[in-house]
Structure 1
Amino acid sequence: MLLKTKQVSDELGVNPTTVQRWVKYFDLECEKNELGHFLFSSETVEELKLIKNDLRRGYSMEKIKSSGASDPPEQVMVSPERFEQRLDRFSVRLEQLERQLEEKANEVITVQVLQHRTELDELMKKITSLEEKLMELEDHTSIQEAVGQSTGKGKRPWIMSLFSF
């Protein structure tokens, strides 16, 4: 019985595109239907299960392909000294990356602070301009009131002009 890609992906617990990618990468033999969709035999499904297990154990796709999906890839032992060297190099590199990340974060913060400072300066200019205009309006209003008081005209004639035609 032949299975479709979706059925195989459900059985393996992976995405259908992952199944398709594995078939192409590992050159697995599959039949295709009239629409060009893969049809999987039980043997192919078993090969895919072995591939999935090997990947789960941490083997690279390249290593699985070169050794064959059914053969477990050989494990290489690393001496404790070599392991310590690699760990030290990894630690140094991690510290470098952390410093670079901190520098980049500081650069971003600096740019943001400068941008906020520019925005604050613009707001201060607008506030100063508004204060000047407000003072001009107050001066103009006080001059009009002074002129209105000296001529004996107050707010009453203005209010009366609203009601008269």
Structure 2
Amino acid sequence: MNTSAVARLLNVSHSTIQRWVTQLNMEVERNQLGHYQFSDDDIALLRKVQDQLNEGIILQKVSISEKKIRKATVQKQHSETNKDHDRMIERIVRLENGLKTKADDVVSYQILQHRSDMEDLQKLVKKLEARIEELETKKVPPIDYFLAAEETATTKKTKKWPFVKTIFGNN
């Protein structure tokens, strides 16, 4: 019988039955979906619990004299579930390892790319340092302004015709 049917039989709510089972650590068989499957013995125990609660005993002090041993089929289902669980864990571990490997590969590539960029920048800095050193050590002869002025003074000035006269003639 399922939880709802037992709850109707005992005239309590669905959640009350679940609370009794969990708080009293009752070993109730479960179906393949994980829902409680109550046997006649389980229902008899729940009736005893209900009677004790009706007498005024609080739930924490309710005693269950009979404990039910789980059947082998339930353990078999659990072992099958455990195998599935183990396979899923193995698969998750493989996927996580694959992700770590992929992340490591991406980071390694980025580091190599940054290293290459840094080497290029270092070469450029060395070229610039060499050029600056060359410019600092190169001696430029001082310009003799007076000599340049004398040369321009000694050259003969040619007469320039006005632009309009060259176009229209000497009239």
TM range (shorter): 0.3 to 0.5
Structure with more contact order per residue of length (Cα contacts < 8 Å, sep ≥ 6): 2
User: What TM-score, normalized by structure 1, do the two folds share?
Assistant: 0.46
